[in-house]
């Protein structure tokens, strides 16, 4: 399967490390013009250097609707159109699992802002241009936590990712008449960034082995495994695939 994105313009959010970095590199290697977004400027610069001349970076908080509208308008003014959007920005924002009685409104909201509101705001911003051209691909990166439970016990994370999956299905039906597909990748546990490294260490040897034994393939995946699924959803091979959630988790 030879997948190329020549003459396509792509936005990847949460691209400072991990899945976002792997996804951005995969698009750049296949000929796309890639615009990477994150709040982490230093990490974003590293990704841009790895992606080469096809990549441009933008420091933006996807939970800020006005900032999202501004950056998408600037990208469209420069590139002419956005063909593919990957909503990868997310995470737990430094939180750890705690009893629900201890969760403040701010703790709850900040996770929803990046994981769910950011997905909505970004898709909302690119949709008019995609509708005008009658073409678009939107790929949301959720989590196994959105289909089951969070391994860390973070209530807001599991809830926001489940909400993102529901949003994926809703937008697939809303945007489908304009030849815009909306799909979702639900990764399993991957050691892909500082947060997941801390989680891996916190499991201890027994917890790590238990996690591995619950995976059909008895091993962890890599960010490149997630990027590969995104490449398929973004490609012409998936032109009649929409509203789908695919778990990339080694088998559960």
Active-site residue numbers? 157
154-160 contacts at long range (C-beta below 8 A, 24 or more positions apart): 154/92, 154/95, 154/96, 154/97, 154/111, 155/100, 155/103, 155/108, 156/95, 156/103, 156/107, 156/108, 156/111, 156/112, 157/92, 157/95, 157/111, 157/115, 159/112, 160/90, 160/111, 160/112, 160/115, 160/116
Q: Residue 22: CA atoms inside 13 Å, Cβ hemisphere, count?
A: 19
Structure tokens at 153: 């016990």
Name residue, tokens 């950011």: 118
| DSSP secondary structure letters along 6-62 | TT-EEEEES-SSHHHHHHHHHHHHTT-EEEEEES-HHHHHHHHHHHGGGEEEEE--T
């Amino acid at each position: 399967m030879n997948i190329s994105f020549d003459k396509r313009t792509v936005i990847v959010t949460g691209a400072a490390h991990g899945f976002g970095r792997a996804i951005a590199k995969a698009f750049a290697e296949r000929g796309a013009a890639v615009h990477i977004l994150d709040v982490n400027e230093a990490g974003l610069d590293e990704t841009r250097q790895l992606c080469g001349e096809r990549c441009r970076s933008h420091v933006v908080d996807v939970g800020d609707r006005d900032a999202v509208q501004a950056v998408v308008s600037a990208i469209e003014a420069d590139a002419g159109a956005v063909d593919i959007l990957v909503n990868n920005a997310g995470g737990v924002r430094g939180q750890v699992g705690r009893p629900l009685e201890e969760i403040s409104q701010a703790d709850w909201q900040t996770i929803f802002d990046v994981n769910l509101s950011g997905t909505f705001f970004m898709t909302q911003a690119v949709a008019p241009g995609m509708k005008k051209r009658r073409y678009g691909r939107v790929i949301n990166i959720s989590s196994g936590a959105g289909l089951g439970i969070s391994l860390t016990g973070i209530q807001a994370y599991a809830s926001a990712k489940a909400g993102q999956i529901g949003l994926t299905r809703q937008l697939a039906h809303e945007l489908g008449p304009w030849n815009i597909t909306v799909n979702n990748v639900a990764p399993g546990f991957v050691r892909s960034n500082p947060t997941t490294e801390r989680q891996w260490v916190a499991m201890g040897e027994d917890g790590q082995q238990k996690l591995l034994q619950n995976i059909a393939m008895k091993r962890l995946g890599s960010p490149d495994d997630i990027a590969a699924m995104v490449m398929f959803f973004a490609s012409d091979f998936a032109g009649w695939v929409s509203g789908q959630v695919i778990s990339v988790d080694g088998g559960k």
